[in-house]
A and B are shown apart, each in its own frame.
Chain A
């Protein structure tokens, strides 16, 4: 693990060669392979890919949230520019104590299923208060309440008193997801990782949550890592897109260019299989199934499903090609 003195200006988070694996039945299953990712201040990046490509693992590894006995992240660095001193720390290497000050305070996470983001047997009030108190020792009750109620209002949950006195199961899924957005922003983090924040909700609610998210973004100057299998949603909010396939980044591009002209054949198929806006976008029409990360040892992981693939693709792993702001890993693409 190396220390880093400087980061590109405007850059707030930089994941470098992140690899992760899970332990299962005595074997190590690789999930992420040397993923590079960067996030600028106030930027929103979208991470796209089919289920099982490692998107959620990426979200968890950025906060070192993978359980020690379930798996591990290894070999990479996660540089983060701290709010106060503009000091750069390496999240992958900091001690536990420092890590606790990053989680929730600098970087927050919103997950897919709102019902599992709150403890089911504790009132929301206590859960909010606990999360507030760990980052604001010696806080005033009044300040806490002001903060929570203004947040709840900004996610359209009224009245705050009533919401706070509820148990999670007393709220609907959409309300809970709003509450967890509010929770994520409680301690004014600069980065929000949203891991499929809308995919367990139905379409109308999905739209409202997306509106709320955009609102919050401009309201609190957030940088967002938006993870989704749904390219429609990503196109709505993201400035840049990362496409993940079998644990690797296969393409990175600014949204505008990406949606007009994807370079990687996989991205192209993903885009082609998009239903029109409004309908729920499931990526199901690509021939074959996404391989388990690590199942393909040689060559390009997408080759078996790719219509452009030839012998070379099965032999050699394509390197990332860079041109301007775009990167792609394909021997055949542009």
Chain B
């Protein structure tokens, strides 16, 4: 499953690059800030005179070794550029995933347990709003209110100017305060998606006969919900996690750009705007790989959580 998908993604990426009218190099010739050496390097690297499929295979063989070439803009290795941006992206996404799960689980449980009661309906409206709200606009509004109007939180970057001079805990606090707004904005969509999903899968599980059977044994409602039902409802959630990942990674392009977060998404945006092809390619492939790894982990997790699959 992973191999053909990866293959497909590289084909798409490669194809899109060649969609550009003319060759990627033509456009570069015009821009004065690209040195002639870079153009020659690029020609060599891509073998632009050779037929397409040969170009693809020579490109893919270098991609396989994570050799994306060097950036047009500063001549640095693409791998290096990505490597230094990756931790920030991972930090941001891990924190928002944490936010998503720690809120979605209680919301999902409460609305399933209080099915059709007032609190469920209120939560459903909130979730629907979270679903429909353009989260990049929310990001901007949060930025204006908490960052500019109240001045409570920093609105851009990952660290303050005086970061170097802070103590260890000062540094942690500094990064944390920079993280809040981007992480909250990133989490909105996924939060709505996940809590709704958990609600409906809890509702389905709670109606199952084995829950009734456990209830007949005198097991209190609390452990029925938190142990029996949740355990079962979580299994499909693991697959959903795999679906959430591309959205999060794609979203990082938008939110990192808005909050000037020094991650891979922002690197992608800058590279796209500057038509820095090697970097765009590199980031594209890495994003796809990250997504695939996430999906793979989700599959593994699914098998681990559901004994029926493990033993078959």
Decide if the interface of chain B is mainly helix, strand, loop or mixed.
helix
Proximity string of chain A (79-108) to chain B, C-beta cutoff 8 Å, 1 when within and 0 when not: 000000000000000000000111111001
Complex-state Cα separation, A103 to B211, whole angstroms = 14
Residues of B within 8 A of A130 (CB): 214, 219, 223, 227
Contact B305 A134 (CB under 8 A): no
Partner-binding segment picked from A63-71, A201-209, A237-245: A63-71
Partner-binding segment picked from A40-48, A119-127, A217-225, A247-255: A119-127
Most buried by B among A103, A118, A119: A119
Cβ of A212 under 8 Å from chain B: no
Cβ of A116 under 8 Å from chain B: yes
Proximity string of chain A (34-65) to chain B, C-beta cutoff 8 Å, 1 when within and 0 when not: 00000000000000000000000000100101
Contact A109 B216 (CB under 8 A): yes
Contact A117 B213 (CB under 8 A): yes
Contact B209 A111 (CB under 8 A): yes
A63-B209 contact given A119-B228, A121-B307, CB 8 Å threshold: no
Contact B217 A108 (CB under 8 A): yes
Cβ of A164 under 8 Å from chain B: no
Residues of A within 8 A of B218 (CB): 100-105, 131, 134-135, 187
Residues of A within 8 A of B232 (CB): 119-121
Cβ of B311 under 8 Å from chain A: yes
A89 to chain B, nearest CB (A): 15
Q: Can you list 28 residue pairs at the A/B interface with Cβ under 8 Å?
A: A60-B212, A65-B216, A67-B207, A101-B218, A108-B216, A109-B213, A109-B216, A111-B213, A113-B209, A116-B209, A119-B214, A119-B228, A119-B232, A120-B307, A120-B308, A121-B231, A121-B307, A122-B231, A123-B307, A130-B219, A131-B219, A134-B217, A134-B223, A167-B311, A169-B307, A170-B311, A180-B213, A186-B217
Complex-state Cα separation, A134 to B227, whole angstroms = 14
Smallest Cβ-Cβ distance to B235: which chain A residue: A121
Residues of A within 8 A of B308 (CB): 120-121, 167, 169
Residues of A within 8 A of B217 (CB): 103-104, 108, 131, 134, 183, 186
A224 to chain B, nearest CB (A): 15
Contact A118 B212 (CB under 8 A): no
Interface residues of B in 21-77 (CB under 8 A from A): none
Proximity string of chain B (210-244) to chain A, C-beta cutoff 8 Å, 1 when within and 0 when not: 11111111111001000110011001000000000
Smallest Cβ-Cβ distance to B117: which chain A residue: A69
Complex-state Cα separation, A105 to B216, whole angstroms = 10
Residues of B within 8 A of A105 (CB): 218
Residues of A within 8 A of B307 (CB): 120-121, 123, 167, 169
Contact A116 B215 (CB under 8 A): no
Give how many A residues have a beta carbon under 8 Å from the other chain's beta carbons: 35
Residues of B within 8 A of A186 (CB): 217
Smallest Cβ-Cβ distance to B208: which chain A residue: A116
Complex-state Cα separation, A18 to B227, whole angstroms = 33
Task: Tell me the A residues contacting B by CB distance below 8 Å.
Answer: 60, 63, 65, 67, 69, 100-105, 108-109, 111, 113, 116-123, 127, 130-131, 134-135, 167, 169-170, 180, 183, 186-187
Cβ of B204 under 8 Å from chain A: no
Candidates A118, A121, A134; contact of B220 at CB < 8 Å: A134
B219 to chain A, nearest CB (A): 5
Residues of A within 8 A of B214 (CB): 119, 127, 130-131
Smallest Cβ-Cβ distance to A180: which chain B residue: B213
Most buried by B among A111, A121, A131, A170: A121
Contact B305 A121 (CB under 8 A): yes
Give how many B residues have a beta carbon under 8 Å from the other chain's beta carbons: 27
Proximity string of chain B (270-312) to chain A, C-beta cutoff 8 Å, 1 when within and 0 when not: 0000000000000000000000000000000000011110010
List 10 extra interface pairs beyond A118-B213, A131-B219, CB under 8 A. Answer: A104-B218, A109-B213, A116-B213, A118-B210, A121-B231, A122-B228, A122-B231, A123-B307, A127-B214, A169-B307
Contact A119 B219 (CB under 8 A): no
Complex-state Cα separation, A60 to B213, whole angstroms = 10
Contact B231 A119 (CB under 8 A): yes
A78 to chain B, nearest CB (A): 15
Cβ of B115 under 8 Å from chain A: yes
Complex-state Cα separation, A131 to B208, whole angstroms = 18
Residues of A within 8 A of B216 (CB): 63, 65, 103-104, 108-109
Proximity string of chain B (182-218) to chain A, C-beta cutoff 8 Å, 1 when within and 0 when not: 0000000000000000000000000111111111111
Residues of B within 8 A of A169 (CB): 307-308, 311
Candidates A102, A117, A134; contact of B209 at CB < 8 Å: A117
Complex-state Cα separation, A122 to B232, whole angstroms = 9
Residues of A within 8 A of B305 (CB): 121
Cβ of B102 under 8 Å from chain A: no
Residues of B within 8 A of A187 (CB): 218
Residues of A within 8 A of B115 (CB): 69
A133 to chain B, nearest CB (A): 9
Complex-state Cα separation, A123 to B77, whole angstroms = 52
Complex-state Cα separation, A170 to B311, whole angstroms = 8
Smallest Cβ-Cβ distance to B215: which chain A residue: A65
Complex-state Cα separation, A122 to B215, whole angstroms = 15
Complex-state Cα separation, A134 to B116, whole angstroms = 29
Residues of B within 8 A of A67 (CB): 207, 212
Smallest Cβ-Cβ distance to A118: which chain B residue: B210
A100-B220 contact given A113-B209, A120-B210, A121-B306, CB 8 Å threshold: yes
Chain A to chain B: the 9 pairs with minimum beta-carbon distance, closest first = A116-B209, A104-B218, A104-B217, A103-B218, A117-B213, A109-B216, A167-B307, A131-B217, A100-B218
B19 to chain A, nearest CB (A): 48
Complex-state Cα separation, A209 to B174, whole angstroms = 68
Complex-state Cα separation, A183 to B223, whole angstroms = 18
Complex-state Cα separation, A100 to B213, whole angstroms = 13
B302 to chain A, nearest CB (A): 11
